[in-house]
Amino acid sequence: MLSLILLSQWLQAEDYTLKHEVKRFIHQMHTQYHFKTSYLQKLFQSVKKDPQAPIQTTACTAASHACKSKAQGSWDIYSRLHLEHNQTDLGVAFISEHYELFQKAFQEYGVAPEYIAAIIGIESYYGHNTGRYYVFDTLTHLAFDSSSRRKHYFRYELQEFLRMCYREQVEPRAIKGSKYGAIGMAQFMPSNYDKLAVDFNGDGKIRISSAADAIGSIANYFKAHGWKNDEPVTTRVTYEGNRFEGLKTGLKHRYYRRYLPGIYPKEGTFDYDDKVMLIKLERERYDELWYGAQNFYVLSRYNHSDYYAMAVHQLAQNIKTAYLAKYQQEQTKQLYALK
């Protein structure tokens, strides 16, 4: 039986060393990073043919989220996908389980625990869904079979993936991730692994499949992109009518608030003096309009989408509210003495 399984796997594999671009890639890895040619040839001689691995890609970022159409009702669909399914309660439990790690992350990086937890919740359902695709095979398909202009991007990610495996002394074929090659609880792409992942538990290894390193790495990611704990993220604002068409919205457009007549926070004040983005969430019967501060833009660096950043923010706030309601203890006061 075992021999039949091995034969089946062999028959489903492809020898990529026959491809000219792969030969050139192997030569580059050897000359630039001193990989053994024989080792790389062995890897590329048996690339699994996964019929579910994507070959064509679109202009969307290589993240674990599907592209969305900005149509009426699109936010209703998107928010249900990312904010329901017990996400809040699981986030509360996740922070409670790893309380000391979240406190340490806040002390070292100044990133509120609810935002770290929300990223992990949306990206990997708190570690329950880190991906079912073998990363080496997936990135190889995308780097050398894709007709997309992004194949050069995936070739770079494959390079960084192999370098990461060498540094961390892990077997490339053993790692699973998303259908675009994102890895672990934090769903980092391999290129971000080298620059931003951290050994947060001090065991001498970086494993963002572990809660400790995922929490620390996300906090470091935020800080590296300019997160400021003493500044707001976003707030909902008013406007006339049911559909907002007056000004350009989204991450690329910023305005001083004094030049936005008729647009102001629906609740309380918004203590932020810099330019703001106008974030439009299209519901079935009306548009929601929000101010987005620089911290909102930082959230969007994880996945370059205003909807994604808003989902992270709203899930984070749901988690914080539920956590405070459940735990009325001194440690809660310490953990959430954030603003």
Q: Which of these three, 182, 198, 214, is where a domain ends?
A: 198
**Which one is catalytic: 21, 100, 108, 123?**
123
Model confidence, pTM: 0.88
Structurally, the chain folds into a number of domains equal to 2
Name the residue among 295, 271, 280, 272 with its Cα closest to residue 237.
280
On whether residue 266 sits in a domain, the answer given is yes
Burial of residue 228 (CB within 10 Å: 0-12, 13-18, 19+) is middle
What pLDDT is stored for residue 5 in this prediction?
A: 42
Q: Report the CATH number that the domain containing residue 22 is assigned in CATH.
A: 1.10.8.350
Domain range spanning residue 49? 11-57+130-198
Is 160 in the same domain as 287? no
What pLDDT is stored for residue 149 in this prediction?
A: 78
> What is the C-alpha separation between 329 and 324, in angstroms, rounded?
9
Q: Which residues of the chain have pLDDT under 50?
A: 1-11, 51, 55-68, 338-339
Tens of pLDDT, residue by residue over 114-159, are 999 999 999 999 999 999 999 999 999 999 986 767 899 999 999 9
What pLDDT is stored for residue 19 in this prediction?
A: 95
Is 39 in the same domain as 169? yes
On whether residue 62 sits in a domain, the answer given is no
Is 278 in the same domain as 178? no
Tell me if residue 123 is catalytic.
yes
> What is the C-alpha separation between 136 and 147, in angstroms, rounded?
19
Radius of gyration of the chain (CA): 22
What pLDDT is stored for residue 98 in this prediction?
A: 97
Mean predicted lDDT score pLDDT of the chain: 89
On whether residue 278 sits in a domain, the answer given is yes
What pLDDT is stored for residue 54 in this prediction?
A: 52
On whether residue 251 sits in a domain, the answer given is yes
